[in-house]
Amino acid sequence: MTSHNGKSFLEQVEAGFDRAARLTAHDPHLLAQIRRCNTVYYVTFPVRRDDGTIDVIEAWRAEHSHHRLPTKGGVRFSMSVERDEVVALASLMSYKCAVVDVPFGGAKGGIRIDRSQYSDRELEAITRRYTFELVKKRFIGPGVDVPAPDVGTGPREMAWMADTYVSLSAGDELNALACVTGKPVTQGGIAGRVEATGRGVAYGVRAACERADDMKALGLTPGVEGKRVVIQGLGNVGSHAARFLQELGAVIVGIAEYEGGIYGKDGLDVEAAIAHRAERGSILGFAGAEDVEHSAAVLEMPCDILVPAALERQLTAANAPKIQAKIVAEAANGPTTPEADVIFRERDMLVIPDIYLNAGGVTVSYFEWLKNMSHVRFGRMQKRFEEGAFRRIVEGVEHLVGERMPEGERARAVHGASELDLVNSGLEETMISGYEQVHEVRAQHAKDGADLRTAAFVDAIDKIAAAYEEMGIFP
């Protein structure tokens, strides 16, 4: 698929890689290996519709890099799915996993359908047949390739995929449930996975905003509190990012969806806006907000932080000069074209890149995979022990001061970590440490004019190159 600026999404990703690769000292042949997609599987299969007719379905699975196994990446249901898009997304997954130190190679899959045109029974048949095709060619498995939800898919589709894989393994594979992540919690999933990408976006934005020197350069005060935010997209990522940013003290002033957008300079109630759209089928007409007929215009409204959380190539040479935000936080994959990126750099804006910022999903998918492989729920072994230890400490303090702690504070003080607590703690640590690493690499290449995107690519290239060299492939 080609953007309005002439570059395909894959060319856009490769341009980012090439810009960073020039700042490294790795062997050109090794760089060529890292850049290329290792394997792509294309398959067609028939599905019988409810009316008795037959559709021929096209689907892909790309495994970009085998420097770490298993490979990891989502499966999307969309009419935009085609080979180069899947390869581009798989490439981003490799770099994303490397940046946040998740030990997977990158992969991606997709089925070219408009899911709204299929019944639930038909969607299940398509999902199960796709899984069967992946099994036949060994493009799925706990130690091989582990799909996850993406655009147009969710926990239900992952449950279908897992059930199909388990049934085909005939009970011979102990770790079979680890074949996919993003499953319902009752089907081997993990608490916090659904909201993980959006929560990770909020943690990443907070980490960036806490850099006083960077905020000063932008003319902003440190911290998320009070920052005006425009969100594009109220899907899974955008809605949760908006919720968590609001919880951190940001003011959501604009929301853009495909049918249009709303803007309110004094702030919008995110939960109320989501409920309004669910009830009315449109974000327009939300009380206390100004309707914006064209959703693209919302991106150009006054704000401090713009969060594109929809599709690829939303920020282009055409609208980049009109963006009023000081910070672009890429919650979607590839929302900024290379031409827009140049304009943002020339304007000294801060772009928090997708290969770091939307890594929350794969991070918590990693936790789910570990849970499935270990066959134990996080927190199960230590929660009560922690609560007992904390209770003894509190009781000791109460004895010394001769006064009992108020019940609410006492309950918080003796609380032992649940699975959700541990997942969110691990995600927060991953996003904070990931930003620190990227920020440090940017500082190391400051003389070369590196921005955060280039620094993230350099960081990923260095880590993947080290993995290949450890394997002895490039001595």
* pLDDT per residue as tens digits for the range 19-45: 999 999 999 999 999 999 999 999 999
pLDDT above 60: residue 408: yes
3-state secondary structure of 257: strand
Q: What is the DSSP letter of 448?
A: G
Distances in Å between the Cα of 399 and the Cα atoms of 388, 402, 447 are 16, 5, 59
Mean pLDDT of 410-436: 88
Mean pLDDT of 347-360: 95
Q: Is 210 exposed, middle or buried (0-12, 13-18, 19+ CB in 10 A)?
A: middle
pLDDT above 70: residue 1: no
pLDDT above 80: residue 187: yes
Mean pLDDT of 423-429: 93
| Number of C-beta neighbours around residue 206 at 10 A | 22
In this predicted structure, what is the pLDDT of residue 318?
92
pLDDT above 60: residue 422: yes
In this predicted structure, what is the pLDDT of residue 415?
77
> Is residue 162 within a helix (H) or strand (E), and if so which, with residue range?
helix 155-168
In this predicted structure, what is the pLDDT of residue 172?
63
The domain locations on the chain are: 37-187
Buried b (16+ CB within 10 A) or exposed e, 93-126: bbbbbbbbebebbbbbbbbbbebeebeeebbbbb
In this predicted structure, what is the pLDDT of residue 2?
43
User: Mean pLDDT score of the chain, rounded to an integer?
Assistant: 91
pLDDT above 80: residue 171: no
Q: Is 147 exposed, middle or buried (0-12, 13-18, 19+ CB in 10 A)?
A: buried
Active site residue 108: yes
Mean pLDDT of 141-154: 94
Q: Which of 181, 55, 67 is nearest to 461 (CA)?
A: 67
In this predicted structure, what is the pLDDT of residue 4?
44
In this predicted structure, what is the pLDDT of residue 376?
82
Between CA 315 and CA 214 the distance in angstroms is 22
Pick the CATH number of 37-187 from 3.40.50.300, 3.40.50.10860, 3.20.110.20, 3.40.50.970: 3.40.50.10860
Q: Which of 293, 237, 236, 287 is nearest to 266 (CA)?
A: 287
Between CA 442 and CA 452 the distance in angstroms is 6
* Identity of the residue numbered 439: H
In this predicted structure, what is the pLDDT of residue 3?
44
In this predicted structure, what is the pLDDT of residue 475?
46
Mean pLDDT of 184-190: 93
Query: Of these residues, 7, 72, 96, 108, which one is catalytic?
Result: 108
pLDDT above 70: residue 127: yes
In this predicted structure, what is the pLDDT of residue 401?
82
Share of the chain above pLDDT 90, in %: 75
